[in-house]
Amino acid sequence: MKHPGFAVLVVLAGCMAEADDNAADATQGAQVPQSRAACLAAGGRWARGGLNPDPLCFLPNPDAGTSCTKATDCVGTCLSDSRTCAPEQPIFGCYGFLDDDGAEVMICAD
């Protein structure tokens, strides 16, 4: 007999893989600065994020605040609650975003 929670874990794993793909797409082709000086020079913010104890670079999205209806409308993430492009990448915490088809996806990213 299969454990009833197994399907939930499989679904969550699929959501995490999709979210990781979306995050990778947002920075694809762009070099993310690995030092504080390089981050600040690129207009970013050097800070801790998620569960990572080390600081990292949060880069502003050029289309921040722009209206969106699906993922491809934004350089970064199309936030589902505001239907606007996220102000910066990466994003940590629990939030909803719109996928390539405009469907809402919820995620918690550490």
What average pLDDT does this structure show over 79-95? 97
**Rounded distance between C-alpha atoms, residue 96 and residue 106, angstroms:** 4
Q: Provide the whole-model pTM.
A: 0.71
Domain coordinates in residue numbering, the chain: 1-30+61-110, 31-59
pLDDT at 30: 63
4-58 confidence digits (pLDDT tens): 443 333 333 344 444 444 444 444 456 899 999 999 999 999 999 999 899 999 9
Query: Contact 91/84 with Cβ under 8 angstroms?
Result: no
pLDDT of residue 42: 95
pLDDT, tens digit, for every residue of 67-86?
999 999 999 999 999 999 99
Query: Is 19:105 a contact under the CB 8 Å cutoff?
Result: yes
Which pLDDT score, from 0 to 100, does residue 26 have? Answer: 43
What is the predicted pLDDT for the residue at 24? Answer: 41
**pLDDT at residue 31, rounded to an integer:** 84
Interatomic CA distance for residues 26 and 96, integer angstroms? 16
Cβ neighbours for 107, distance < 8 A, ≥ 6 positions apart = 15, 16, 19, 94, 95, 96, 97
